[in-house]
Chains A and B, each alone.
Chain A
Amino acid sequence: QLQLQESGPGLVKPSETLSLTCTVSGGSISSSSYSWGWIRQPPGKGLEWIGSIYYSGSTYYSPSLKSRVTISVDTSKNQFSLKLSSVTAADTAVYYCARQSGTWGSDYWGQGTLVTVSS
């Protein structure tokens, strides 16, 4: 059974860079059939897609976050990572990693990790 697990600091200071890693177990991240994505959910609000990456390194980002987002993949560790720079309180959210099919449905999700931006 495929499992995804987010990890990283739960508290980030304003203007700094948020960094999270998603570890994939029970399957290989090196599949051309799937991309690996990040989705976030501010407290009490809806879901927002951040971006996705294929194992080859091809990336796709939300236009509204593109200038601040970097997603990378480490196939040797079966992990992919998110970096979001110049964070503000508006970036406070639960961050999920997920596997996405070729038609962009997300069939496996991590449990989510709350990241709070505060000094």
Chain B
Amino acid sequence: QSALTQPRSVSGSPGQSVTISCTGTSSDVGGYNYVSWYQQHPGKAPKLMIYDVNKRPSGVPDRFSGSKSGNTASLTISGLQAEDEADYYCCSFAGSYTFVIFGGGTKLTVL
């Protein structure tokens, strides 16, 4: 099964909002509400930012939000801050054969 499709890069200025898309199929993103998003700074382990499509773990700012429509999930970051500059990965449950599939990652640049 192919990786979920994410844009290679997105950018925005401080204070603005950006949205990162994650497109899959009805066998993964579209079939289950088990989409998660991870933030990864260079040389660091990924950090869970969103789980179950739109839930935020404790400690994650409410500037981060998730949604899903059909086979596409989205991560929106509002009020961009310099520290949001990082790579972002989406992830979805993909059924009882593939189980877990990641997106290719999106590099967010804060201008």
> Which residues from chain A sit less than 8 Å from chain B, CB to CB?
37, 39, 46-49, 52, 60-63, 96, 101, 103-107, 109-112
Category for how many chain B residues contact A: 20 to 34
Residues of B within 8 A of A (CB): 1, 3, 33-34, 36, 38, 45-48, 51-52, 57, 89, 91, 93, 97-105
B38, A47: Cβ atoms under 8 Å? Answer: yes
Whether A46 lies near B103 (C-beta < 8 A) is: yes
Asked if B101 contacts A49 (CB within 8 A), the reply is: yes
Give complex CA distance A39, B36 in Å: 14
The complex places the Cα of A37 from the Cα of B100 at a distance, in Å, of 11
A residues in contact with B33, CB < 8 Å: 103
Chain B, residue nearest A103 (CB): B34
Contact B48 A47 (CB under 8 A): no
Asked if A96 and B38 make an inter-chain contact with CB atoms under 8 angstroms apart, the answer reads: no
**Are the C-beta atoms of A111 and B102 separated by less than 8 Å?**
no
Given A96-B45, A103-B34, A104-B100, A46 and B89 touching (CB < 8 A)?
A: yes
**Cβ-defined contact, A105 with B36, below 8 A:** yes
Bound CA–CA A109/B45 (angstroms)? 7
In the complex, which residue of chain B has the Cβ closest to the Cβ of A4? B45
Residues of B within 8 A of A104 (CB): 34, 36, 91, 93, 99-100
Residues of B within 8 A of A106 (CB): 36, 38, 46, 48, 91
